[in-house]
């Protein structure tokens, strides 16, 4: 009763609070709540076509209405004192309002009142408990309010579509029932309330969730939670089952229906019950009835629970769940429900042979007797035809492959009834067939009935086999009249004999013999025969099993021996992983770490402590050699950095070209749009024409993707043409003019070193000249500005040494630029094309370079400026920024660096043949755009990736792609580089590690073959380690089913885990190469799969479900558990292979 | 009606990377826009139930990786698609230009029964941005030239036309589907009509 009181007091508080605060605000709030719920319900109805009766929306609406009705109710005056709800009010007004009378009657009958009770509902039940369905509960521990019985009368009124009318009645007669200031009595709010409810009252409400098309897949979270909830007491997945032996583990639920006894299938049935609460596409709910009582073992009194009948692919399943388990999940937290799970029943109908029915005055009991002769606890149905409707549902559900024998008697008008004369006490088999109706009072008579469940499908097959067997040994032909075991069933004629059940039972090794049913002696021979057959079968099965096992193991060895290392590395002392102290202690006086194996072992089992990741990762990725001294390493770093800078300077030049073209492309499209818009306005005609001319060139040849070679050199011109268009009429003149200007600019460059000021003036002037293009040019100018800022920052960091670096970088880039110029000259000898571009570059972008150069070494920048070719200025800017950025801890001797850079610069240029051929530029442009798109999107929710760091990431990507233009950028590379950058913080090092990482990872990309191999390996591994899962996944055929692993393998789980976990996973993968397996990713993938295997199996997910599941689960995995499970799996395979 | 087959419409979204495929899908299904989406790797899908011509159907919308070389892998799963959505970015003309190749690629890989009449829907996304590179007219012309494909200018960010576009997608996909199973579906439609009328009436009543 405690729970009931709780509910009552809860409901009481609301109106009380309402009464205490009679302000309009309170009413407003109440009515707003109703409005909101109505709106949600209507939306649900619109999207789902109908609303389920137990939908949360309905309950919420009822709650809101209840709150409204409770507010200002004249309890005392009406004698409703101490009654919790407005139910009493309903019964009260039933006298005056026909709708209320109807609902009141319904409420009473729903509360379990006998149907015979007068339907007028006048009889008031002042103490009607709120959760009426529980009032028969046999103890306080049983009474928890099922949500659906809350606000019962409002609910019923809603479903009966009477609610609005009842409320209208209340509103109209508000003075009689309500205080003056009550919401219902309010002329406005009252009518609003009743009119609000008109809509919901007209909706369709459905009891059954059955139609599959209305059922939507629960999200991954929900699935996992359901699993957790139902499997709370199971062993965690990391506790591994013995290999090859766990196929039928307790946890395995794919065929849990086989666990027929109440106790044995606890967990799986629990899961199923949870599942059955959520009607799904695989099991149709045929029948459901609550407050069906069952007396489980160890319980003194029958407990009420929910009985349901499900149609699954495997057959009918009868389930019974104690009421304690039928409440919301939230309440279940913290309470040990395992005891209730143990009580719940789950019976597969095909395993039931007999259904005994005992009808008594008090209640109807139904007892299921299985093939093994074991009786299930009796199921007590409440009076009122429930048992009959259950049986008729059962009978319907058995069709077409099975039937109840004898069938229920179908009677016109009253539906199905019990077959006549099937009472055990009065076996009159012929009555059914003859259809005599001599006893009309039978329905009210207590009696026992026995039904047999006949499975035609199995019985047919077995009977056939049995008869063949008999013929073979010339046993006496079985007569149809001789069922092996039958108490009261009547296999009345020969036609039904063929579907007799007992033979199948014998074949199954479970003769359903009860002491009372000793078979005739002449059947002993046939039984003996059957037994010997069984013996042979058992032996042969054992043999085949052994054979399969041997083959299986040979598969294991052939397929999997390559996946793991043969020797098992011990785990001793690795709990804490590689900590800073251990790391320091391993280093000798020269800073060299020699014991690589130990490092790998520690990392493999325990990971790396966060603050030394930066030091350790280069080793793990094989970038540093173990045994190298700190001096050697810093040399390596310096060389690497130089190399990186050089590469950058190369692609930066090309980038400048690409940017240029992009601008043209933008201009062209702007022009095209302007053209369209400009036709109307005469003022822009001039501009429009020029743009039009230009875009006629460009539009046919998308500038980025496929410009024709001849036009490529032209294009750089077009920018100045466009920008200066307003001042000049003819295109030829423009060319001349711009050429001249360009020369002027280059002269300016040559004349003074730090003439940034004067040039900025030029800049501004030229910009001012151009009105039409202003917006566009601004955008171009903004970029260099931003870059300059970041450069300045980097410079500050780099301090004094950086200045030298600047000079070098500048010089170097100029050199490469020079080469560019030469190459172009040689190749196309289009000198006219250069100056305009140069001019443009100097107009917009040169400034920063000069700024920086001025602060660097003036002499060198002066000389470089003299020879500064078309594209170099932009390149210089970028170059400087990066040489500066890369010089954080530069210790390199400056004298050596210069020649190095110079030679490095020249070589790629010459190796590229005609420097920056059109194809090269196009390819790079394509990659550049992709990189930019993806870098922008990469982990932007992660605070590390500020613009500055994104820029670094972009540089790393571009540099790598520049080095590997044949494969180019592929989506996912960004994701792989990002954690490296986060850890290393420094571009060149991150790039170096990324290049190492890509050695392995590049095969995973579509250009490589590794992904298919991974899928195949996954398939073998699952086959070996988890047959059950394998069967599920293999049901559909090929291993494209492992596509859900695609992202896992491609990105080394980077998207699946949070950053810190990604670090750990990667360390595991890297270290595992040297410790346990070169294919650690497989085992991590397997661990992920195994972690959720029960969820996957329980929901029989097909491959789309699995894809969705894992996509939704991304970044929510328990990484440390997964990783340790992965190590366990490796160990398992190692053990498996070792134990040949 | 309980045995009625669930109507599942498989919709594939294709288009260059960064045109907003994921955003469109999420805007339609979850009514949310986030600027936090990452480049799609592999494939993902979302499902949503919609009502099309008085029928409830479940749309299974497949979002794909934009880079073309990833397509060969994903395409295997796109067989049986009921509609293909081609997305481009109205600010990036080259994404518009690749529509043609996306269309061809899809027809090759998914090999629908009737390639000529397979339903495509073209979406020009990001119309909320100002720097347009593809005019509506140009896109319209292209769509007309391709057997008059439906064209919508959408903004996943501001939810412009997204609902409408996907309604059309669902309708066209359903038309594709229904052709095959017209016979089976007919009785249901009558029933659902009745329901729908009732619902509409409710809707009218409720409009407060």
Domain coordinates in residue numbering, chain B: 5-183
Which chain A residues in 254-293 lie under 8 Å from chain B, judged by CB atoms?
281, 284
Does residue A329 sit at the B interface (CB-CB below 8 Å)?
no
pLDDT per residue over A89-106, tens digit each? 777 788 888 888 888 888
Q: Which comes out higher in pLDDT, residue A599 or A160? A: A599
Is A199's CB within 8 Å of B70's CB? no
pLDDT at A327: 57
Contact between residue A375 and residue A390 where contact means Cβ atoms under 8 Å apart? no
Closest alpha carbon to A369 in A451, A308, A270: A451
Contact between residue A443 and residue A417 where contact means Cβ atoms under 8 Å apart? yes
Predicted confidence band of residue A835 (pLDDT cuts 50, 70, 90)? very low
Q: Which of B202, B203, B207 would best serve as a mutation to test chain A binding (most A beta carbons within 10 A)?
A: B202
Could you tell me which chain A residue has the CA closest to the CA of B3? Answer: A211
CA–CA separation, A125 vs A108, rounded Å? 9
Is A204's CB within 8 Å of B198's CB? yes
Fold of A629-666+917-1002: Helicase, Ruva Protein; domain 3 (1.10.8)
Which chain B residues in 2-31 lie under 8 Å from chain A, judged by CB atoms?
2, 4-7, 17-18
Q: Which comes out higher in pLDDT, residue A11 or A521? A: A521
For domain A270-326+341-412+447-455, which CATH number applies: 3.30.230.10, 2.160.10.10, 2.30.29.230, 2.40.128.20? 2.30.29.230
Does residue A1036 sit at the B interface (CB-CB below 8 Å)?
no
Does residue A939 sit at the B interface (CB-CB below 8 Å)?
yes
CA–CA separation, A1066 vs A1084, rounded Å? 10
Could you tell me which chain B residue has the CA closest to the CA of A193? Answer: B208
Integer Rg of chain A from CA: 41
Q: Ranked by mean pLDDT, which of A384-393, A470-479, A820-829, B161-170 comes out on top?
A: B161-170
Does residue A196 sit at the B interface (CB-CB below 8 Å)?
yes
Could you tell me which chain A residue has the CA closest to the CA of B71? Answer: A1006
SS3 A565: coil
Which chain A residues in 351-370 lie under 8 Å from chain B, judged by CB atoms?
none
Closest alpha carbon to A168 in A75, A100, A119, A116: A100
Predicted confidence band of residue A1008 (pLDDT cuts 50, 70, 90)? confident
Residue A177 has pLDDT above 60, yes or no: yes
pLDDT per residue over A317-366, tens digit each? 888 888 777 654 444 445 566 677 777 777 888 788 888 888 777 778 88
Pick from A47, A196, A669: which is nearest to B133 by CB? A669
Does residue B163 sit at the A interface (CB-CB below 8 Å)?
no
Is B69's CB within 8 Å of A970's CB? yes
Pick from A202, A941, A1047: which is nearest to B205 by CB? A202
Does residue B49 sit at the A interface (CB-CB below 8 Å)?
yes
Chain B partners within 8 Å of A47 (Cβ): 49-51
pLDDT per residue over A613-672, tens digit each? 999 999 999 999 999 999 999 999 999 999 999 999 999 999 998 898 888 877 877 777
pLDDT per residue over A633-643, tens digit each? 999 999 999 99
pLDDT at A46: 67
pLDDT per residue over A115-127, tens digit each? 333 333 333 344 3
Q: What is the DSSP letter of A752?
A: -
Residue A789 has pLDDT above 50, yes or no: no
Which chain B residues in 53-72 lie under 8 Å from chain A, judged by CB atoms?
56-58, 60, 65-67, 69-70, 72
Chain B partners within 8 Å of A940 (Cβ): 35-36
Q: Which of A192, A216, A669 would best serve as a mutation to test chain B binding (most B beta carbons within 10 A)?
A: A669
Chain A partners within 8 Å of B17 (Cβ): 930, 933-934, 971
Does residue B130 sit at the A interface (CB-CB below 8 Å)?
no
- Say how many C-beta atoms besides its own lie within 10 A of residue A1003's C-beta: 15
Predicted confidence band of residue A231 (pLDDT cuts 50, 70, 90)? low
CA A686: distance to chain centroid? 57
Residue B150 has pLDDT above 90, yes or no: yes
Chain B partners within 8 Å of A1111 (Cβ): 44
Predicted confidence band of residue A1108 (pLDDT cuts 50, 70, 90)? confident
Which chain A residues in 635-674 lie under 8 Å from chain B, judged by CB atoms?
665-666, 669-670, 672-673
Strand pairing of A51-52 and A205-206? parallel
- End-to-end CA gap in chain B: 34
Does residue B170 sit at the A interface (CB-CB below 8 Å)?
no
ipTM for the predicted complex: 0.84
Fold of A22-110+150-206: Methane Monooxygenase Hydroxylase; Chain G, domain 1 (1.20.58)
pLDDT at A623: 92
Measured at the CA of A324, the angle between CA A319 and CA A325, to 5 degrees, comes to 50
pLDDT per residue over A429-483, tens digit each? 333 333 333 333 444 445 777 888 877 665 555 555 555 554 444 444 444 443 3
Q: Which of B6, B48, B67 would best serve as a mutation to test chain A binding (most A beta carbons within 10 A)?
A: B67
Residue A689 has pLDDT above 90, yes or no: no
Does residue A548 sit at the B interface (CB-CB below 8 Å)?
no
CATH class of B5-183: alpha beta
Closest alpha carbon to A717 in A700, A701, A733: A733
Could you tell me which chain B residue has the CA closest to the CA of A1004? Answer: B70
pLDDT at A975: 92
Q: Is the dihedral angle over the CA atoms B2, B5, B8, B9 positive or is it negative? A: negative
Could you tell me which chain B residue has the CA closest to the CA of A967? Answer: B69
pLDDT at A1033: 80
Could you tell me which chain A residue has the CA closest to the CA of B203? Answer: A199
Does residue A23 sit at the B interface (CB-CB below 8 Å)?
no
Contact between residue A364 and residue A447 where contact means Cβ atoms under 8 Å apart? no
Residue A749 has pLDDT above 50, yes or no: no
Does residue A95 sit at the B interface (CB-CB below 8 Å)?
no
Residue A7 has pLDDT above 70, yes or no: no
Contact between residue B155 and residue B125 where contact means Cβ atoms under 8 Å apart? yes
């Amino acid at each position: 009763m405690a729970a009931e009181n709780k509910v009552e007091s809860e409901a009481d508080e609301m109106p009380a609070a309402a009464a205490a605060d009679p302000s309009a605000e309170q009413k407003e709030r109440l009515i707003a709540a109703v409005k909101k719920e109505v709106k949600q319900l209507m939306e649900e109805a619109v999207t789902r076509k109908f609303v389920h009766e137990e939908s949360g929306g309905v309950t919420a609406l009822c709650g809101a209405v209840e709150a409204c009705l409770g507010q200002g109710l004249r309890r005392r005056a009406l004698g409703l004192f101490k009654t919790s709800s407005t139910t009493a009010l309903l019964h009260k007004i039933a006298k005056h309002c026909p709708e209320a009378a109807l609902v009141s009657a319904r409420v009473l009958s729903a509360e379990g009142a006998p149907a015979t009770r007068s339907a007028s509902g006048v009889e008031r039940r002042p103490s009607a408990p709120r959760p009426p369905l529980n009032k028969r509960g046999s103890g306080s521990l049983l009474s928890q309010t099922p949500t659906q019985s809350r606000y019962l009368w409002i609910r019923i009124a809603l479903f009966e579509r009477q609610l609005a009318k009842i409320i209208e009645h209340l509103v109209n007669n508000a003075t009689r029932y309500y205080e003056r200031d009550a919401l219902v009595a309010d002329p406005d709010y009252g009518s609003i309330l009743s009119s609000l409810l008109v809509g919901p009252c007209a909706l369709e409400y459905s009891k059954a969730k059955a139609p599959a098309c209305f059922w939507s897949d629960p999200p991954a979270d929900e699935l996992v939670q359901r699993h957790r909830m139902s499997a709370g007491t199971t062993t965690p997945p990391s506790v591994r089952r013995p290999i090859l032996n766990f196929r039928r583990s307790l946890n395995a639920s794919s065929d849990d229906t086989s666990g027929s006894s109440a106790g044995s299938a606890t967990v799986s049935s629990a899961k199923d019950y949870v599942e059955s609460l959520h009607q799904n596409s695989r099991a149709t709910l045929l029948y459901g009835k609550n407050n069906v009582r069952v007396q489980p073992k160890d319980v003194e009194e029958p407990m009420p629970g929910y009985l349901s009948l499900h149609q699954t692919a495997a057959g009918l399943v009868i389930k019974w769940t104690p009421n304690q388990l039928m409440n919301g999940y939230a309440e279940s937290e913290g309470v040990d429900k395992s005891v209730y799970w143990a009580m719940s029943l789950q019976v597969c109908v095909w395993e039931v042979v007999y259904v005994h029915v005992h009808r008594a005055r008090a209640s109807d009991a139904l007892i299921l007797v299985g093939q093994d002769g074991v009786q299930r606890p009796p199921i007590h149905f409440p009076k009122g035809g429930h048992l009959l409707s259950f049986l008729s549902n059962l009978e319907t559900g058995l069709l077409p492959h099975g039937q109840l024998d004898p069938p229920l008697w179908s009677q016109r008008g009253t539906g199905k009834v019990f077959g006549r004369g099937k009472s055990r006490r009065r076996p009159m088999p012929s009555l059914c067939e003859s259809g005599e109706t001599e006893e009309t009072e039978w329905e009210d008579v207590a009696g026992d009935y026995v039904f047999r469940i006949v499975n035609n499908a199995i019985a047919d097959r077995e009977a056939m086999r049995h008869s063949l067997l008999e013929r073979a040994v010339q046993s006496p032909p079985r007569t149809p009249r001789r069922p092996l075991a039958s108490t009261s069933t009547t296999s009345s004629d020969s036609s039904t004999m063929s579907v007799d059940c007992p033979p199948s039972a014998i074949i199954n090794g479970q003769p359903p013999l009860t002491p009372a049913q000793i078979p005739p002696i002449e059947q002993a021979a046939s039984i003996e025969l059957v037994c010997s057959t069984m013996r042979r079968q058992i032996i042969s099965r054992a043999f085949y099993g052994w054979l399969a096992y041997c083959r299986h193991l040979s598969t294991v060895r052939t397929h999997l021996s390559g996946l793991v290392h043969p020797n098992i590395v011990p785990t001793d002392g690795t709990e804490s992983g590689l900590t800073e102290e251990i790391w320091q202690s391993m280093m000798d006086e020269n800073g060299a770490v020699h014991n690589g194996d130990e490092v790998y072992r520690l990392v493999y089992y325990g990971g790396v402590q966060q603050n030394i990741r930066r030091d350790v990762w280069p080793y793990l990725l094989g970038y540093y050699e173990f045994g190298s001294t700190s001096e050697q390493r810093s040399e390596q770093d310096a060389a690497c950095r130089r190399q990186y800078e050089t590469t950058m300077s190369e692609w930066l030049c090309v980038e400048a070209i690409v940017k240029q073209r992009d601008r043209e492309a933008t201009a062209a499209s702007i022009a095209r749009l302007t053209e369209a818009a400009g036709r109307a306005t005469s003022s822009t005609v001039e501009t429009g024409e020029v743009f039009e001319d230009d875009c006629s060139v460009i539009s046919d040849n998308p500038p980025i993707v496929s410009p024709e070679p001849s036009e490529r050199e032209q294009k750089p011109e077009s920018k100045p043409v466009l920008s200066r268009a307003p001042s000049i009429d003819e295109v030829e003149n423009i060319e001349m003019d711009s050429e001249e200007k360009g020369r002027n600019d280059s002269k300016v460059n040559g004349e003074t070193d730090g003439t940034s000021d004067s040039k900025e003036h030029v800049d501004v002037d030229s910009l001012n000249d151009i009105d039409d293009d202003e917006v566009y040019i601004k955008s171009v100018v903004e970029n260099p500005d931003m870059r300059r800022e970041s450069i300045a920052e980097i410079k500050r960091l780099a301090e004094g040494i950086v200045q030298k670096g600047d000079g070098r970088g500048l010089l170097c880039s100029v050199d490469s630029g020079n080469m560019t110029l030469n190459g172009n000259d040689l190749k196309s000898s289009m000198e006219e094309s250069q100056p305009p571009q140069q001019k443009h570059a100097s107009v917009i972008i040169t400034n920063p370079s000069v700024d920086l150069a001025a602060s660097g070494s003036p002499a060198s920048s002066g000389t470089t400026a003299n020879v500064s070719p078309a594209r170099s200025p932009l390149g210089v800017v970028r170059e400087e920024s990066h040489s500066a950025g890369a010089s954080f801890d530069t210790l390199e001797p400056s004298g050596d660096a210069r020649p190095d850079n110079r030679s490095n610069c020249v070589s790629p240029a010459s190796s590229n043949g005609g420097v920056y051929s059109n194809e090269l530029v196009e390819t790079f442009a394509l990659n550049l755009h992709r990189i930019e798109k993806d870098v922008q999107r990469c982990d932007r929710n992660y605070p590390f990736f500020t613009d500055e760091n994104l820029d670094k990431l972009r540089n790393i990507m571009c540099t790598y792609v520049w080095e590997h233009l044949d494969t180019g950028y592929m989506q996912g590379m960004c994701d792989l580089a990002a954690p490296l950058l986060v850890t290393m913080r420094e571009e060149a090092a991150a790039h170096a590690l990324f290049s190492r990482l890509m050695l392995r990872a590049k095969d995973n990309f579509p250009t490589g073959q590794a992904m298919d191999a991974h899928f195949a390996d996954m398939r073998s591994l699952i086959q070996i380690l988890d047959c059950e899962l394998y069967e599920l996944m293999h049901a559909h055929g090929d291993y494209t089913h492992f596509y859900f692993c695609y992202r896992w393998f491609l990105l080394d789980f980077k998207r699946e885990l949070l950053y810190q976990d990604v670090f750990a996973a990667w360390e595991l993968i890297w270290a595992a190469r040297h410790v346990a397996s070169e294919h650690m990713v497989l085992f991590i993938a397997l661990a992920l799969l195994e972690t959720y295997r029960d969820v996957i199996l329980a929901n029989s997910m097909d491959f789309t479900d699995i894809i969705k599941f894992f996509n939704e689960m991304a970044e929510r995995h328990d990484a440390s558990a997964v990783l340790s499970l992965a190590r366990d799996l490796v160990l398992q395979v190692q053990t498996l292979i070792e134990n040949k | 009606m309980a045995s009625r087959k669930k109507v599942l419409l498989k919709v594939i979204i294709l288009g260059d990377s960064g045109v907003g495929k994921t955003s469109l899908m999420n805007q339609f299904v979850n009514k949310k826009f986030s600027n936090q989406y990452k480049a799609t790797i592999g494939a993902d899908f979302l499902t949503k139930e919609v009502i099309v011509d008085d029928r409830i159907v479940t749309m299974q919308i497949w979002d794909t990786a934009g880079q073309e070389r990833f397509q060969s892998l994903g395409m295997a799963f796109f067989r049986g698609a009921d509609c293909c959505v081609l997305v481009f970015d109205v600010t990036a003309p080259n994404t518009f230009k690749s529509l043609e190749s996306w269309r061809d690629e899809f027809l090759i890989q998914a090999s629908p029964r009737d390639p000529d009449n397979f339903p495509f829907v073209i979406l020009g996304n990001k119309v909320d941005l100002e720097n347009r590179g593809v005019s509506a007219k140009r896109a319209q012309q292209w769509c007309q030239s391709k057997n008059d494909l439906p064209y919508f200018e959408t903004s996943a960010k501001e939810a412009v036309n997204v609902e409408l576009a996907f309604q059309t997608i669902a309708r066209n996909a359903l038309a594709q589907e229904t052709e095959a199973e017209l016979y089976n579906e007919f009785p249901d439609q009558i029933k659902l009509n009745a329901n729908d009328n009732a619902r509409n009436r409710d809707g009218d009543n409720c409009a407060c």
